[in-house]
Amino acid sequence: MTAKIPVAVLGATGTVGQKFVRLLAEHPWFEVAAVAASAASAGKPYGEVVRWRETAALPERIARLIVAEAAPPLPAPNGVPAPIVFSALDAQVAEPIEQTFARAGAFVVSNTRTHRMEPDVPLLVPEANVDHLRLIDRQRTARGWSGAILTNPNCVAAPLAMVMAPLHRAFKVEKLFVSTMQAVSGAGYPGVASLDIVGNVIPFINGEEEKVERETRKILGILTGDEIEPAELTVSAHANRVPVIDGHMETVSVGFARKVTPEQALAVLHDFRADPRVAKLPSSPTPPIEVDPRADRPQPRLDLERGRGMAVTVGRVRACPLLDLRLVILGHNTVRGAAGQAVQIAELLVAEGVVKRV
């Protein structure tokens, strides 16, 4: 590749937007050409309007970019509009904005809930369902768009589906019970008020349980022709907000179509590798699932950065007296559950030749 591919970030000032900026600043293929946010931020240098929460310094070049309004055409420093647009927009405003970019020819990789469940929109966890990428052909034909919209799942559903994918393939998952402990960064910035969450647990996250239940079935579904048949499994989710900054933990019980021992499940999880098309991407961790045998792991503070935040950690795989198997899952909500995986999806678009290298 001679030059990096210009990309844009919508919602660049938010929690997920900042994670995009940080990850893309060091990316081997992509370069941030434009940042966009609400009208309140537009027209000012990014470094002035962003409340930078990342621990790495904000790169000078990006700090100087003038924030654009989230509408095409975005500034294109080298004259070429960004073919890839990452969306970390507030879900309330995302729908028309993302569609406008796709109509104008961009491949929009979205973190918002807005288009996830539409039948012609792929909901991707690349290690679990790379074949669903094909849905964009149907989408572009039906909608007459030169671009397309691709979506990242909810930040609980992404690590859950990653772990369930090999188990479902091997043993057929029929029942899934998941109870979450979700970090405050999952609510964006400024998110949950400190007086509500410090020293406390909130047993409600608006809309979260429904998203986990329906998105998991779509991700694990089978693509036949250009239709996804959702996986036939019953999911029961309990969503809780806990006083942790980053990292969603999930305690899970799973029922299978046949008896499965912890040893059999562990062997499948240990051996799981992504499809070679996905494994070779710069953001793909190897292995995608890290199994930790220690009795008190995973923990957000100790295990979140595995695979640069892209690996999902599994622990405490044991028999369940209610269903068949119990385990604990930890995923990074703004990396695997948002920006990191969206960048991986964009890499897939390039590797598969959907977006051409310059």
Ligand X SMILES: NC(=O)c1ccc[n+]([C@@H]2O[C@H](COP(=O)([O-])OP(=O)(O)OC[C@H]3O[C@@H](n4cnc5c(N)ncnc54)[C@H](OP(=O)(O)O)[C@@H]3O)[C@@H](O)[C@H]2O)c1
The residues of the shown chain that bind ligand X, judged by CB under 6 A, are: 11-17, 37-38, 40-41, 70, 88-91, 93, 111-112, 155, 185-186, 188-189, 333-334, 337-338
d(CA 290, CA 313): 5
Which residue number, 120 or 215, has a Cβ lying nearer to ligand X? 215
Nearest Cα residue to 62 out of 28, 94, 23: 23
Which residue number, 39 or 295, has a Cβ lying nearer to ligand X? 39
Cβ proximity of 339 and 121 under 8 Å: no
Which residue number, 168 or 248, has a Cβ lying nearer to ligand X? 248
CB of 182 to ligand X, least distance (A): 9
Strands (E), the chain: 5-10, 30-37, 68-69, 84-87, 107-110, 148-151, 173-181, 222-224, 227-229, 234-238, 248-256, 289-292, 312-319, 325-331
Which residue number, 163 or 244, has a Cβ lying nearer to ligand X? 244
248 is catalytic: yes
What is each CA distance from 153 to 49, 157, 215, 337, in whole angstroms?
Answer: 28, 6, 7, 7
CB of 12 to ligand X, least distance (A): 6
**N-terminal to C-terminal alpha carbon distance within the chain:** 7
Which is the catalytic residue, given 248, 270, 320, 332? 248
Q: Which residue is nearest to ligand X (CB)?
A: 14
CB of 73 to ligand X, least distance (A): 16
CB of 268 to ligand X, least distance (A): 27
Between helix 339-351 and helix 15-25 the angle, nearest 10°, is 50
155 is catalytic: yes
Which is the catalytic residue, given 155, 168, 238, 332? 155
Cite the active site residues: 155, 248
